[in-house]
Chains A and B, each alone.
Chain A
Amino acid sequence: MADKQYDWAAIARNPKFVELHHKKSAFLFGWWIFSTVYYFLLPIGAAYAPGLFKVKVIGVINIGYVFALSQFFVSWGLAHYYAHVANKDFDRLTRELVDELK
């Protein structure tokens, strides 16, 4: 099965890997926390700030509806932003690291 033995500890110390690891951790956990906070604002807002949710924006459509709908766009937007950064930065660093190990 294992066709090649790697020195994992050495790879983990490789500057390329360290850079990848720092960039990736900051991005992933930072944006994960952002999206989670943004999401929980919805049930918390609906429960504790119903007055704000009732304010009409366009016609009879209110802030509550727009905010709930915005959750979809924020999620999609974040997904594409992540894909963009991952394709550009993370995959490039990974490729360089793998090439170096060959």
Chain B
Amino acid sequence: MKKLIAAFTLTLSLGALAYAAEPAKVPDAASASASAPVATTPAVATPVQQTVTQAAAPVAPVKKEIKANKTITIGMFLVIVGITMCVVVWAAKKTKTAADFYAAGGGITGTQNGWAIAGDYMSAASFLGISGMISLYGYDGFMYSVGWLVAYITVLLIVAEPCRNAGKYTLGDILSFRTEPKKVRAVAALSTVAVTTFYLTAQMVGAGKLMALLVGIPYKASIIGVGILMVGYVVFGGMTATTWVQIIKAGLLMSGACLLSVLVMAKSNFNLIGFFSDIVNNPSIQDHVSKMVLRDGVTLAGADAGQRFLEPALFMKAPLDQISLGMALVLGTAGMPHILMRFFTVPTAQAARKSVIIAMWIIGMFYVLTTLLGFGAAIHVTPQGISGVDKGGNMATLLLAQQLGADIAPIVGDIFLAFLCSVAFATILAVVSGLVLAASAAIAHDIYVNVIKDGHADQHEQVMAARITSLCVGAVGIIIGITAEKQNVAHLVALAFAVAASGNLPVVVMSLFWRKFNTAGVIAGLVVGTIAAIGLVMVSPNMTYPKTVAAGAQKVITALETKQAALPPGATLDEKDLKALDKAKVDYEKNKDGTSIMGLDKPFLKLKNPGIFSIPLGFLAAIIATLAFPSRRSEDMFDEIYVRQNTGIGMAKAIDH
């Protein structure tokens, strides 16, 4: 059977290579098209505002280039792949039972698990996105990062130890404890698969675009490469390999962040107050801020504009949306299947507790350092330089590394950039592996072993089912990654958190703490929470509304035609403007009669983040259904789960050799 999997993987990789070889001929087109969608990442870049910017500031931005030194970067990638492959070979020998595969045999220590949680959690979006947001919008970026840490208080106080005490491998194990297991497991598995698919899609598409932009590896080849590695880690090494990949990644990420922070602070003579004065007095930041506030009709200049960079609401102009996102983060992290799963890998509740605290230190320190990196990039690379490379600011940290390194020696700049690219690469690998493992556990352990086989499967069969499922999940991930290339996936991470907060968290908490809670409650909570979160996003401004696109195109047409009319007779617009005009006309024609996926002309809701509505809906549905269909058995079994989750008595030992 093992040979069969190896052969299948080999076929998959050969097929993939053949597939990847074809687009390799046109890498320029791939990278050019890749940079455009990334640019639309920030929520503020609506067509209207873009037009305003174009009209107000037609000057050519400071054009910066970001291209990593291919030899050094790929060399470093290979080192990471080499090291992780050794880990996989070692882990594969240890992975014999289902407990080994899903929970590393319960043999991970609290400290190791803490690093792995941090590695699992900090995606490329935190690593590149938040520092970019700080470099362009200042304070708001920092404020945004806070919720990602505070979320762990919920994990620590409410879910970590109870899950360790009452659970085994998956979310379904906890939820099915005193309910009708088959139905509950099936629904729980579906919800897990939904959350992980959203998150995985965002990660895969991000990975492909990043690699294309930085190293010039074509989009499809990057997705397939990342996909094969993640499948390799999970299929052969299970949880042990995934854990170590995450630990290695967290170590690399923290070293990169520390190193860069020291360099940034050295520029300000290690004086924190001086560092903030540098921000306020930086002419490029002042200019950038005064242009931004001008759009709202506010005039600011000099140090006032610089000071404004340290004040809220340059980016987050819809408070309700921010509160809604905050709710999704604070409650969603504790409902994320791949995070919950990490607590089954440690032997005791004490170790689970310790691992959350260590993870909180790593994650918190990272976000504090990110502030230095973001503001440092704003001072040294300038906001204009950063948005010139990528409008969303995603390249801020990388540009900063390149520049600070190059200040020492040009080759050092290349090495720094290559190092940070490989950190980004390791980051992606670690996060996607954790997601594939969580999705596979839901399908193989909950659906195959417990629903289809009624729990009657020996260790060998369970591990085989887990491996085959991981292979399939990985293959599906690759396919989704490739087909979603042109889609706007930026909102999918927030959606994953919203689904976890609205669907998973209410039912997990009530399973552990509410006596009356029962099958009807679990199913209603999961279904309503999940559907509400997805449904609200489907009618939100996150979707593409052709009529809005057409209106934006119309504005570009008007602006350019006015420009043409103002030119002396006989003169024509330059080539760039003409191209833009043609494109706008095509866009207008294509979109003027269209509607969104839901058949809407304009968003039904103004909120981008559904949490504020969908989370209460998830709770309400679970409560109402529980009360409507009471179950004696569930009530009687409450004592058992409550004693178990509090004390760990009768704990399902992950070590069951």
Q: Is A59 a contact of B649 with CB atoms below 8 Å?
A: no
- Please tell me the number of chain A residues within 8 Å of chain B, measured between CB atoms: 53
Q: Is A12 a contact of B639 with CB atoms below 8 Å?
A: yes
Which residues of B are found within 8 Å of A21, using beta-carbon distances? 642, 646
Q: Say whether chain A's binding surface is mostly helix, strand, loop, or mixed.
A: helix
Complex alpha-carbon distance, A24 and B512, angstroms: 14
Which residues of A are found within 8 Å of B350, using beta-carbon distances? 87, 91
Report the number of A-B residue pairs with Cβ-Cβ less than 8 Å. Answer: 151
Q: Is B276 a contact of A59 with CB atoms below 8 Å?
A: yes
Task: With both chains docked as a complex, state the minimum distance between the C-beta of B372 and any C-beta of chain A, in angstroms.
Answer: 12
B262-304 with Cβ < 8 A to chain A:
273, 276-277, 279-280
| Candidate in A2, A4, A60, A101 with the most chain B CB atoms within 10 angstroms | A60
Q: Is A32 a contact of B154 with CB atoms below 8 Å?
A: yes
Complex alpha-carbon distance, A76 and B149, angstroms: 9
Which residues of A are found within 8 Å of B368, using beta-carbon distances? 69, 72
Q: Is B312 a contact of A97 with CB atoms below 8 Å?
A: no
Q: Is B158 a contact of A79 with CB atoms below 8 Å?
A: no
Give which listed residue, B311, B316, B650, contacts A6 with CB less than 8 A.
Answer: B650
Task: With both chains docked as a complex, state the minimum distance between the C-beta of B653 and any C-beta of chain A, in angstroms.
Answer: 9
B119-135 with Cβ < 8 A to chain A:
none
Which residues of B are found within 8 Å of A35, using beta-carbon distances? 150, 153
Q: Does A15 contact B (CB under 8 A)?
A: no
Q: Which residue of B lies closest to A91 (CB)?
A: B350
Which residues of A are found within 8 Å of B319, using beta-carbon distances? 43-44, 46-48
B307-336 with Cβ < 8 A to chain A:
307, 310-313, 316, 319, 322-323, 326, 330
Q: Which residue of A lies closest to B154 (CB)?
A: A32
Q: Is A39 a contact of B326 with CB atoms below 8 Å?
A: yes
Q: Is B150 a contact of A71 with CB atoms below 8 Å?
A: yes
Q: Is B143 a contact of A43 with CB atoms below 8 Å?
A: yes
Q: Is B146 a contact of A17 with CB atoms below 8 Å?
A: no
Q: Does B647 contact A (CB under 8 A)?
A: yes
Q: What is the 8 Å Cβ interface bit string for chain B, positions 164-179, against chain A (1 contact, 0 not)?
A: 0000000000000000
Complex alpha-carbon distance, A17 and B186, angstroms: 34
Complex alpha-carbon distance, A83 and B360, angstroms: 13
Complex alpha-carbon distance, A52 and B313, angstroms: 13
Complex alpha-carbon distance, A8 and B356, angstroms: 29
Q: Is B139 a contact of A64 with CB atoms below 8 Å?
A: yes
Q: Is B326 a contact of A43 with CB atoms below 8 Å?
A: yes
Q: Does B156 contact A (CB under 8 A)?
A: yes
Q: What is the 8 Å Cβ interface bit string for chain B, positions 139-162, against chain A (1 contact, 0 not)?
A: 110110011011011101110000
Q: Is B149 a contact of A86 with CB atoms below 8 Å?
A: no
Q: Does B388 contact A (CB under 8 A)?
A: no
B152-210 with Cβ < 8 A to chain A:
152-154, 156-158
Give which listed residue, B356, B367, B643, contacts A79 with CB less than 8 A.
Answer: B356
A30-51 with Cβ < 8 A to chain B:
31-32, 35-36, 39-40, 42-44, 46-48, 50
State whether A24 and B643 are in contact (beta carbons under 8 Å apart), knowing that A65-B139, A86-B353 are contacts in the complex: no
Task: With both chains docked as a complex, state the minimum distance between the C-beta of B282 and any C-beta of chain A, in angstroms.
Answer: 12
Q: Does B254 contact A (CB under 8 A)?
A: no
Q: What is the 8 Å Cβ interface bit string for chain A, positions 67-86, against chain B (1 contact, 0 not)?
A: 01101100110111011001
State whether A68 and B146 are in contact (beta carbons under 8 Å apart), knowing that A6-B649, A39-B326, A94-B646 are contacts in the complex: yes
Q: Is A60 a contact of B307 with CB atoms below 8 Å?
A: yes
Q: Is B157 a contact of A20 with CB atoms below 8 Å?
A: no
Q: Which residue of B lies closest to A17 (CB)?
A: B643
Q: Does B74 contact A (CB under 8 A)?
A: no
Complex alpha-carbon distance, A72 and B312, angstroms: 18
Q: Does B475 contact A (CB under 8 A)?
A: no
State whether A94 and B310 are in contact (beta carbons under 8 Å apart), knowing that A47-B319, A61-B276 are contacts in the complex: no
Q: Which residue of B lies closest to A16 (CB)?
A: B647
Q: Is A28 a contact of B157 with CB atoms below 8 Å?
A: yes
Which residues of A are found within 8 Å of B330, using beta-carbon distances? 36, 39
Complex alpha-carbon distance, A60 and B276, angstroms: 6
Q: Is B277 a contact of A60 with CB atoms below 8 Å?
A: yes
Which residues of A are found within 8 Å of B646, using beta-carbon distances? 17, 20-21, 24, 94
Q: What is the 8 Å Cβ interface bit string for chain B, positions 634-657, against chain A (1 contact, 0 not)?
A: 000101101110111110100010
Give which listed residue, A58, A62, A71, A101, contacts B310 with CB less than 8 A.
Answer: A62
Complex alpha-carbon distance, A53 and B360, angstroms: 26
Task: With both chains docked as a complex, state the minimum distance between the C-beta of A89 and any C-beta of chain B, in angstroms.
Answer: 13
Q: Does B364 contact A (CB under 8 A)?
A: yes
Q: Is A53 a contact of B311 with CB atoms below 8 Å?
A: yes
Which residues of B are found within 8 Å of A6, using beta-carbon distances? 640, 643, 649-650
Q: Does B361 contact A (CB under 8 A)?
A: yes
Give which listed residue, A31, A40, A69, A97, contacts B157 with CB less than 8 A.
Answer: A31
Task: With both chains docked as a complex, state the minimum distance between the C-beta of A55 and any C-beta of chain B, in angstroms.
Answer: 10
B533-571 with Cβ < 8 A to chain A:
none
Q: Is A76 a contact of B647 with CB atoms below 8 Å?
A: no
Task: With both chains docked as a complex, state the minimum distance between the C-beta of B321 and any C-beta of chain A, in angstroms.
Answer: 9
Q: Is A80 a contact of B323 with CB atoms below 8 Å?
A: no
Q: Which residue of B lies closest to A21 (CB)?
A: B646
7 contacts between A and B (CB under 8 A): A32-B154, A43-B316, A62-B310, A71-B149, A72-B367, A76-B361, A80-B357
A residues with a Cβ closer than 8 A to B are: 1-2, 4, 6, 8-9, 11-12, 17, 20-21, 24, 28, 31-32, 35-36, 39-40, 42-44, 46-48, 50, 53-54, 58-62, 64-65, 68-69, 71-72, 75-76, 78-80, 82-83, 86-87, 91, 94, 97-98, 101
